[in-house]
Amino acid sequence: MHVGVDSFVAAVTDPSTERLVGPEERMAHLLEEIALADEVGLYSFGIGEHHRPEYYDSAPPVILGAAAARTSRIRLGSAVTVLSAADPVRVFQQFATLDLVSRGRVDLVVGRGSFIEAFPLFGLSLADYDELFEEKLDLLLRLRESEQVSWSGRHRPALTGQGVYPRPLQDPLPIWVGVGGTPESFVRAGLLGLPLMVAVIGGEPRQFAPLVDLYRRAGAQAGHAPERLQVGLHVFSYVAESTRAAADTIYPGWHEMFTKVSRERGFAQPTRAQFDATSGPDGAFFMGDPDTVADKLVRVSDQLGGVDRVAIQMTNPRLAHADLLRGIELLGTEVAPRVAEA
């Protein structure tokens, strides 16, 4: 199981000074974080896509291009590209170019996103939520298969054999499907033979076992080889010298972040008791010292029938840059080796 990091590039208030870190400084910090992840041997670094004031990741390919110039080994990817609100031609061109710049180190993870701001921003209707993704994923895969494509759909002008360039170094360009908890999404990915990135946001990770099994069965029935049906996890986590230190460091920002989302969606305000329960041995958050986090990753992989990669999401609006760097260092030097040996 490969271990990496995902970031939503949150705006950060330094917890020791209460100073809001400006976007220019935050981007500099982000590139330092990615360079460290490369240095300590982590497998991947993914950048999310949001169109909200508390995140600076609305243009992931630009950030990833800068990261490619600062790194040499780590794989770089999206986490996720909101394909429903994008033009598949431009997405393919951007990530094919990024693949060339990085010398074949790119993964494109596409999904529908957990926020809806992109839809009105780009003039799209939420009534077309499912159809937009299905249609655009079909076109994206056609573009990957061939330089010249003839295609037509409801939500984009037709292609009549035009060439789409450049072509990526990797053949084919890896395209993963990011999913939440909808069974239809798991089946779709399996039927298409695409690797699956599961976002574990709440509940218990083992509850995804039936859905992962559904994905594998759909893929097998469609004739796809088992090695094509890779499974990845996107999980919320933080690693520190002790489990208590990890929880105490990450909690203030977690509370701020989830309080905002809960107000928007009409949920109850989150509590420390809820956070601690979700951070427990069977919860969705992978919180603790290196041994605790590594053991949990291995246990969850076994529960899901094998996980190929995990992306640790440590985005937090009140996590100091130094603490985030330390978390990345521990993840690469202590957690990943323990997972590899298991």
Percentage of the chain lying above the pLDDT 90 cut: 93
Mean pLDDT of the chain: 96
What is the distance between the alpha carbons of residues 316 and 5, in angstroms, rounded to a whole number? 13
pLDDT at 339: 98
- DSSP 3-state percent helix, strand, coil across the chain (nearest 5): 50, 20, 35
Q: Find tokens 């427990």 and name the residue.
A: 280
Contact 14, 342 (CB under 8 A): no
pLDDT at 60: 98
Nearest residue to 81 (alpha-carbon basis) of 3, 178, 193: 178
Q: Is the dihedral of CA 50, 52, 56, 61 positive or negative?
A: positive
pLDDT at 315: 87
pLDDT at 264: 87
Confidence band of 21 (pLDDT split at 50, 70, 90)? very high
Please count the helices (runs of H) and the strands (runs of E) in the chain.
Answer: 12, 12
Q: Is the dihedral of CA 127, 132, 135, 138 positive or negative?
A: negative
User: How large is the average pLDDT for residues 67-91?
Assistant: 97
CA dist list (Å): 73 to 34, 36, 41, 130, 168: 11, 11, 8, 36, 17
Give pLDDT tens digits for 259-317. 988 888 888 889 999 999 999 999 999 999 999 999 999 999 999 999 999 999 998 99
Q: Find tokens 């990496």 and name the residue.
A: 4
**When comparing pLDDT for 315 and 319, which is higher?**
319
pLDDT at 342: 87
Q: Is residue 222 part of a domain?
A: yes
What is the distance between the alpha carbons of residues 33 and 21, in angstroms, rounded to a whole number? 15
Q: Is residue 129 part of a domain?
A: yes
Question: How far is the first Cα of the chain from the last one, in angstroms, to the nearest whole number?
Answer: 9
Give pLDDT tens digits for 29-70. 999 999 999 999 999 999 999 999 999 999 999 999 999 999
Secondary structure (3-state) at 281? coil
Q: Is residue 279 part of a domain?
A: yes
What is the distance between the alpha carbons of residues 107 and 99, in angstroms, rounded to a whole number? 8
Task: Tell me the residue range of the domain where 123 lies.
Answer: 2-133+172-314+334-341
Q: Is residue 142 part of a domain?
A: no
Q: Is residue 156 part of a domain?
A: no
Q: Is residue 141 part of a domain?
A: no
CB-count burial class (<10 Å; 0-12, 13-18, 19+) for 11: middle
Domain count, the chain: 1
User: How large is the average pLDDT for residues 126-155?
Assistant: 96
What is the distance between the alpha carbons of residues 169 and 96, in angstroms, rounded to a whole number? 7
Residue 42: how many other CB atoms lie within 10 Å: 26
User: Cβ neighbours of residue 116 under 8 Å, at least 6 residues apart?
Assistant: 126
What is the distance between the alpha carbons of residues 66 and 44, in angstroms, rounded to a whole number? 15
What is the distance between the alpha carbons of residues 98 and 64, in angstroms, rounded to a whole number? 7
Q: Is residue 151 part of a domain?
A: no
Nearest residue to 311 (alpha-carbon basis) of 72, 46, 105: 46
Q: What is the CATH classification number for the domain harbouring 287? A: 3.20.20.30
CB-count burial class (<10 Å; 0-12, 13-18, 19+) for 54: middle
CA dist list (Å): 289 to 39, 241, 294: 21, 5, 9
pLDDT at 114 over 90: no
Q: Is residue 244 part of a domain?
A: yes
DSSP 228: G
User: How large is the average pLDDT for residues 13-18?
Assistant: 95
User: What does the DSSP assignment read for 126-176?
Assistant: GGGHHHHHHHHHHHHHHHHH-SEEEE--SSS--EEEEE--PPPSSSSPPEE
pLDDT at 152: 97
